Structure 1
């Protein structure tokens, strides 16, 4: 069995805007793997050096504007790095960075938002999720060590939204999006957080607008999904709300999973 390790996933909503917060958090918590989403910077402009000074090796799939993902690893260099989908035409945005760490295939994901029902953006989101499902089904078997983590932009069930009524007619909480998550679960991937905590209100995202953080009106849309071997090894998943209180916070909070 591989050595124990911890994995953190965090949509940082611009690494340059949130650099001090991210560095502070990594220095305090020292996850072995840190998967960052929505980095919003081209690879050549990513601030590598401060992360290297903390002992991290850096793999990037970045872009300006929005989207972009980065995976940081300690103890070992990320192996077999894959940028985007494994096959087929390139994605129009940089949303996937897959690598192998300690024998585990880790997919760092920034799933499309979808914008609004009935739009091309929503169709793109569903097609994107299906394309990922097919890739996973093709490349991995149930006994492989695989983790999917990141911002999925889907709230799984009623416990994961502050108000079912408020979500009516909105993206992130539709039958189509839930069916997409069903597709991953049918491959044997499971939601590690729900192994340990069944409570409602364990949100990972709070809108900047309308006092949502203060009212604790949020969504749980950031996940660590794992294949059976990794699910069994998952000893803990923590949603850390503290950084949401910091100056210039991301609208997402870090999620950390520990594997024995």
Structure 2
């Protein structure tokens, strides 16, 4: 099974790019973030014609998350994180697809930091961590995928010294991510590419794409029940270079079928250039 996560930065404005990538990559499951579309403006028909069923949690102008499944309709299991009934941001949706629980998340950016937005980011992170603790212990395979808006280590940012005061790289943010992972989650991309400089986001400004001045902020966390099935992970970098594209590139993992032994690590597919 191939599962992907992609911050589309506006699902309707980037729809041609999304459809082109779906046709080319053919992922079985896709988590989308930053739909920037209200619930009734999600392009359900276009995605259905492309062969994908969908559930989504829209929001006008900002946020928004969705889960797509090729040739199937995801079975929704949760909409929104527990812990704050007054938080109306569309940042989390969860479904079962092919026997796997998939949580799609868009963690707050948090800038400027310090400040109210950064406080909200850390509170949201804490809610995610509390909820994830229950998922991690499940005997059901669980994948938490999406835009976490955090670079966990210096290897995940092109010039760490320039980001020390940014909400995506502040010590509090990285500590929150590592606390989450320590529950027993596997950072899929880092598991298979422990020493490679891998990016998933390149800003539109300052010629970041052509300079390869990127960040790794889109992540897959796998619970123990599914981590043993991980056989490949990568980034479809070329999509970031397409016309009218998102500032993120799609990130993906491949999972072996149930009962099938994973391939040796030496044969794992490298990150797509």
Shorter-normalised TM range: over 0.9
TM-score by length of 2: 0.90
Which residue matches 1:26?
Answer: 22
Which residue matches 2:38?
Answer: 42
Which residue matches 1:55?
Answer: 51
How far apart are residue 88 of structure 1 and its match? 4.4
The aligned runs of 1:90-169 (5 Å cut-off) are 90-138=86-134, 140-141=136-137, 143-169=139-165
Q: CA RMSD in A?
A: 1.4
Q: What secondary structure does 2:40 align onto? A: helix
The ranges of structure 1 where at least 4 consecutive aligned residues each deviate by more than 6 angstroms after the TM superposition are none
Does the CA contact (< 8 Å) of 2:38 and 2:61 recur in 1?
A: no
Instruction: After superposition, give the CA deviation of every residue in 1:78-134 in whole Å (9 maximum; x if it has no partner).
Output: 124311114541423100011111221111000000012111000000000101111
Q: Distance in 2 between matches of 1:200 and 1:26?
A: 26
Q: What secondary structure does 2:201 align onto? A: coil
Q: Distance in 2 between matches of 1:93 and 1:145?
A: 27
Aligned residues: 256
Which residue matches 1:171?
Answer: 167
Unaligned runs of 5+ in 1: none
Which residue matches 1:188?
Answer: 184
| Aligned CA distance change for structure 1 residues 140 and 157 (closer, same or farther; 3 Å) | closer
Which residue matches 1:79?
Answer: 75
TM-score by length of 1: 0.94
How far apart are residue 155 of structure 1 and its match? 0.2
Greater Cα offset, 73-82 or 21-30 = 73-82
Unaligned runs of 5+ in 2: 257-273
How far apart are residue 76 of structure 1 and its match? 3.3
Q: Distance in 2 between matches of 1:48 and 1:80?
A: 16
